[in-house]
């Protein structure tokens, strides 16, 4: 699909090429797009990434299974908890490790908190890209993120790099203060989401900018392997928590919201709805959480873990989509192959198709609505 420039005899126009990035305020990190513009309209777009490549997959092959846990934090640095979780799940499949009940609940609570945080942040940054120059929605989102990160820090000792979920459970039991604070925080987050809803959803400028922009067709999305809120906003009710239920998600009562417009606005609504569902899950988990051990594999055993020869693929529904770890073991204490199926990269592949024909300003918005983290794209 490309836009034809009508040939006129008297007035000849030319296209210009613009490098957007790697240092551009709205590329969410070091990401470069080569835009070909006809006036303000995008004729062609070529994404170039790799500026943040750290070689995590190769590095991980040189380290033991437990030493790789901190590396997974650094993939999608907005939601460290879910990265840990996916890796732990893959390793548990590989080595056949059981997880205690309480640990599963802790994982669900922290994972869903991460989802709320990520979605609120994504909405905030989408507004930033739309041109809310003074960051107001972002600052609100950051405020709530700070509260959630505070809880994660309380449990794991670090805000963004928790390394909290390890194969066999979680590192340590929740501190005593955690539950009372969480009980206060969940209704507060509900109020916060409602406030964001009042402030943003009905805004006419936002709707004018977002409706019908960057439409992603369902069949294209499926073909390209797009997942997560971006896919569900295109009308495909595919959520790994439901279709390939892992952990204890089959015990909770929640819905998978779907929107059918597939544009920037639908993705925004999708995130808002998903954050609400996450809070529902947290409430149920808070109610049901049992007492008991939190890990079946203490550090001293885990560090000597030698999984049998074989391979395993563990995948979870991370806030951004399907996050999978593919591990191959040769029987030693280091993975033979450590492959990451990262969400952001696959969601980004259709950027060109979404952007062509729109204006420069829309490129930024569409990129913002996909919600990428460059640490996840380049690995």
Partner 1 sequence: MYGTGLLKGLSVTLRHMIGTFVTDVRKFPRRYFRDGVHPTRSPEPYLHGAFSIQYPEEKVPMWPRFRGPLVHLRDPETGQPRCTACGMCERACPHGCIKVEGEGKGKERKPTLYQYNVGRCIFCRQCVESCPFNAIELSRFYELACYDKDTIWDLPRLLELGDKEEIKEQGQFWGET
Partner 2 sequence: MENVWTIENVWNAIGMALQNWLAGFLPAWLVTLIMDLLVIVVLLAIGIVAVLILSFLERKVAARAGDRYGPNRWGPYGVLQPFADAIKMLIKEDIVPHVADRFSFNLAPVIVTVGAVMTYAVLPFGRNMVAANLNIGILYFAAVGSLSIIGLLTAGWGSRNKYALISAFRSVAQLITYEVPLALCIICVVMLAGSLSTQDIVLAQQERGWFFLLMPGIFILYFLAASAEMIRCPFDLLEADSEIVAGHFIEYSGMKFALFFLAEYIHLFAGSAMMVTLFFGGWLGPWLPSWLWFLIKTFVVIFVFMWIRNTFPRIRIDQVLKIGWKVMVPAGLVGLAITGFVDKLIADTLIAGVVLFVCNIALIVGVSYFMGRAQRQKEMAAEGAALR
In the complex, minimum distance from the CB of residue 109 to partner 2, in angstroms, rounded to a whole number: 26
Angle between helix 101-130 and helix 136-156 axes, rounded to 10 deg: 160
Alpha-carbon dihedral angle through residues 282, 286, 287, 292, given to the nearest 10 degrees: 140
Which H or E run includes 122?
helix 101-130
Residue 372 contacts residue 49 (beta carbons within 8 Å)? no
- How far, in Å, CA of 95 to CA of 100, rounded? 15
Interface of this chain with partner 2, residues 242 to 301, rule: CB under 8 A: 260-263, 265-266
Residue 31's Cβ-side half-sphere holds a number of Cα atoms within 13 Å equal to: 25
- With binding defined as CB under 8 A, does residue 302 bind partner 2? no
CA distance from start to end of the chain: 30
Q: What are residue 321's DSSP bridge partners?
A: 318
- How far, in Å, CA of 17 to CA of 343, rounded? 29
Size of interface with partner 1, in residues (CB under 8 A): 49
Residues 6 or more apart whose Cβ sits within 8 Å of residue 354? 214, 215, 216, 366
Among 53, 54, 184, 337, which residue interacts with partner 1 (rule: CB under 8 A)? 184
- With binding defined as CB under 8 A, does residue 153 bind partner 1? yes
In the complex, minimum distance from the CB of residue 124 to partner 1, in angstroms, rounded to a whole number: 14
Among 31, 127, 326, 338, which residue interacts with partner 2 (rule: CB under 8 A)? 127
Kindly state the tokens that stand for 13.
């126009």
Residue 339 contacts residue 65 (beta carbons within 8 Å)? no
Among 24, 32, 63, 280, which residue interacts with partner 1 (rule: CB under 8 A)? 63
- How far, in Å, CA of 354 to CA of 321, rounded? 18
Task: Pick what 191 binds: partner 1, partner 2, none; C-beta below 5 to 8 Å, kind-dependent.
Answer: partner 1
Task: Pick what 262 binds: partner 2, partner 1, none; C-beta below 5 to 8 Å, kind-dependent.
Answer: partner 2
- With binding defined as CB under 8 A, does residue 201 bind partner 1? yes
State which residue, 101 or 220, has the beta carbon closest to partner 2.
220
In the complex, minimum distance from the CB of residue 212 to partner 2, in angstroms, rounded to a whole number: 5
State which residue, 134 or 287, has the beta carbon closest to partner 2.
134
State which residue, 39 or 96, has the beta carbon closest to partner 2.
39
- With binding defined as CB under 8 A, does residue 217 bind partner 2? yes
Task: Give backbone dihedrals phi and psi of 57, rounded to 5 degrees, phi first.
Answer: -60, -40
- With binding defined as CB under 8 A, does residue 224 bind partner 2? no
Radius of gyration of the chain (CA): 21
Residue ranges in contact with partner 1 by CB under 8 A: 63, 66-71, 136, 140, 143, 146-147, 150, 153-158, 161, 163, 171-173, 175, 177, 180-181, 184-185, 188, 191-192, 195, 198-207, 295, 298-300, 303
Residue ranges in contact with partner 2 by CB under 8 A: 16, 18, 24-26, 37, 39-40, 127-136, 139-140, 143, 199, 203-209, 211-212, 215-218, 221, 233-235, 260-263, 265-266, 359-362, 364
């Amino acid at each position: 699909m490309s836009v034809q420039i009508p040939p006129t005899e008297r007035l000849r126009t030319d296209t210009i090429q613009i490098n957007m990035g790697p240092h551009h305020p709205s590329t969410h990190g070091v990401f470069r797009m080569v835009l070909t513009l006809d006036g303000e309209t995008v004729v062609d777009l070529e994404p170039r990434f790799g500026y943040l490549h750290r070689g995590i997959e190769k590095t991980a092959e040189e380290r033991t299974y437990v030493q790789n846990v901190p590396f997974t934090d650094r993939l999608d640095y907005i939601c460290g908890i879910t990265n840990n979780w996916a890796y732990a799940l893959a390793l548990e499949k590989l080595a056949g490790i059981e997880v205690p009940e309480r640990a599963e609940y802790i994982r669900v609570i922290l994972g869903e908190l991460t989802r709320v945080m990520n979605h609120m942040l994504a909405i905030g940054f989408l507004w930033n890209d739309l041109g809310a120059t003074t960051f107001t929605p972002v600052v609100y989102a950051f405020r709530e993120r700070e509260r959630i990160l505070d809880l994660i820090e309380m449990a794991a000792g670090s805000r963004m790099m928790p390394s909290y979920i390890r194969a066999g459970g979680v590192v340590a039991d929740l501190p005593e203060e955690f539950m009372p604070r969480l009980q206060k925080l969940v209704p507060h987050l509900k109020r916060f989401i409602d406030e964001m809803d009042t402030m943003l959803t009905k805004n006419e400028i936002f709707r004018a900018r977002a409706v019908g922009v960057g439409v992603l067709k369902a069949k294209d999305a499926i073909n390209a392997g797009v997942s997560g809120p971006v896919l569900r906003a295109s009308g495909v009710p595919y959520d790994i928590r439901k279709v390939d239920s892992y952990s204890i998600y089959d015990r909770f009562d929640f819905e998978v919201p779907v929107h059918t417009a597939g544009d920037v606005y639908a993705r925004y609504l999708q995130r808002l709805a998903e954050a609400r569902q996450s809070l529902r899950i947290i409430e149920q988990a808070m109610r049901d959480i049992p007492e008991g051990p939190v890990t079946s594999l203490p550090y001293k055993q885990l560090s000597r873990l030698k999984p049998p020869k074989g391979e395993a693929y563990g995948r979870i529904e991370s806030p951004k989509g399907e996050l999978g770890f593919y591990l191959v073991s040769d029987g030693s204490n280091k993975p033979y192959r450590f492959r990451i199926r990262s969400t952001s990269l696959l969601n980004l592949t259709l950027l060109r198709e979404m952007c062509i024909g729109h204006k420069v300003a829309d490129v930024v918005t569409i990129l913002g609505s996909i919600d990428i983290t460059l640490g996840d794209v380049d690995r």
